[in-house]
Amino acid sequence: MALTTEVADRIYEIQPEGNGLDRFPLCTVYLIVDDKLALVEAGCAIQTPEIVEAIEKLVDDVNRVSYVFLTHSHPDHVGGIGYLAQRMADAQFIAYPGVGKLLSDQSVISKIMTGFKRSFGEDAVDRFGVMLPAAEERFLSIQDGQSILLGKRELRAIHTPGHDPYHLCFYDTGSKGMFCGDLLGGYFAEIDSVIPPQTVGTDFMLVLKSLQKLREINPTKLFFSHGSTIGNVEKHIERTENNITNCQNIVHRALLAREDREKIAFRLIDAYPKFSDLARSQISNPVYIQRALRWVDSYSWHLKKMNMI
């Protein structure tokens, strides 16, 4: 059963149960209750029944949802769109231009899921569900700076590429908070850490530019799509910037020294800030080591793209 918490005035966090590191990449979604109801993120396909159940406990009828705001097109954030389209008869999916064309095409979704399996294993579909397309006419494109009025508040789109070219954050004028998708990565309360979006295809230079764009808006809180809601925004932006820069430098030096992938992964683990005993124990477990290997791949991809190796 999903855990539901009001994290700002009429904004409800719907979070999968369990330890944040263990449940990753299951997604935290948010229901905004105003004259028009909005959901931020669609989550993994396997989460859809729990998301619908949580919404119906809050507002009785899931068909009251007018909009589903999508931060980007990765399947842990949009895997549920096909099912939600069936359950929310009139809801529009709000996304960056071009995303609707991609997510309405089964052949594209099959390619997306192939990449998901590379990241999370051949059993990814069993663990996270089968992603279905949604009809292209259900999508409404939104550009950087455009807003959708919900009633007393509006959500403003902020184009924040880097983790994904189509990545958007959404600024809520009611709470002055930011739905930040994967721009900073995930916040895991158990270890009081933000783990940056270190996946193959991430352009870390663009991530750093997008973080500066976020800083200039100066939100009061961040609504994470992996993890939970936090304040102290500047601290976590700065930590993310430092972690990205430090990790990139470690991988760069190690690759120039021709170190192997596993040795570089352990270098990243050793260098990563550990703010608690739980963080130290989590970072030494085999699952985390597999993630560190993927971090090496993501920084290697980026360094090659930048012609630095």
What does the pLDDT read at residue 94?
Answer: 98
Q: Name the pLDDT band for 279 (thresholds 50, 70, 90).
A: low
Q: Name the pLDDT band for 286 (thresholds 50, 70, 90).
A: low
Instruction: Please state the pTM of the whole predicted model.
Output: 0.94
Q: Is the dihedral of CA 9, 235, 143, 89 positive or negative?
A: negative
C-alpha distances in Å from residue 90, one per residue of 65, 96, 263: 8, 19, 52
What does the pLDDT read at residue 77?
Answer: 96
Residues 2, 51 contacting (CB under 8 angstroms): yes
Could you give the 3-state DSSP secondary structure of residue 225? coil
Q: What is the mean pLDDT of residues 196-201?
A: 85
Highest mean pLDDT among 11-20, 46-55, 115-124, 267-276: 46-55
**What pairs with residue 257 in β-bridges?**
none
Which H or E run includes 75? helix 75-78
What does the pLDDT read at residue 190?
Answer: 72
What distance in Å separates the CA atoms of residue 43 and residue 235, rounded to the nearest whole number?
Answer: 27
Burial of 273 (0-12, 13-18, 19+ CB in 10 A): middle
Amino acid at 254: A
pLDDT, one tens digit per residue, over 135-154 is 999 999 999 999 999 999 99
Extract the tokens encoding 186.
Answer: 């995930």
Hey, which CATH number is domain 3-233, 3.30.450.20, 3.60.15.10, 1.10.150.530, 3.90.180.10?
3.60.15.10
Q: Where are the domains of the chain?
A: 3-233, 243-305
What distance in Å separates the CA atoms of residue 309 and residue 302, rounded to the nearest whole number?
Answer: 10
Extract the tokens encoding 182.
Answer: 């994967």
**What pairs with residue 230 in β-bridges?**
222
What distance in Å separates the CA atoms of residue 132 and residue 81, rounded to the nearest whole number?
Answer: 7
What does the pLDDT read at residue 281?
Answer: 61
Q: Name the pLDDT band for 280 (thresholds 50, 70, 90).
A: low
Please report, to the nearest 10 degrees, the dihedral formed by the alpha carbons of residues 272, 276, 209, 141 taken in order.
120
Burial of 304 (0-12, 13-18, 19+ CB in 10 A): exposed
Q: What is the mean pLDDT of residues 161-166?
A: 96
**What pairs with residue 214 in β-bridges?**
none
Extract the tokens encoding 178.
Answer: 């930011």
Q: What is the mean pLDDT of residues 193-207?
A: 88
Q: What is the mean pLDDT of residues 108-120?
A: 86
Share of the chain above pLDDT 90, in %: 74
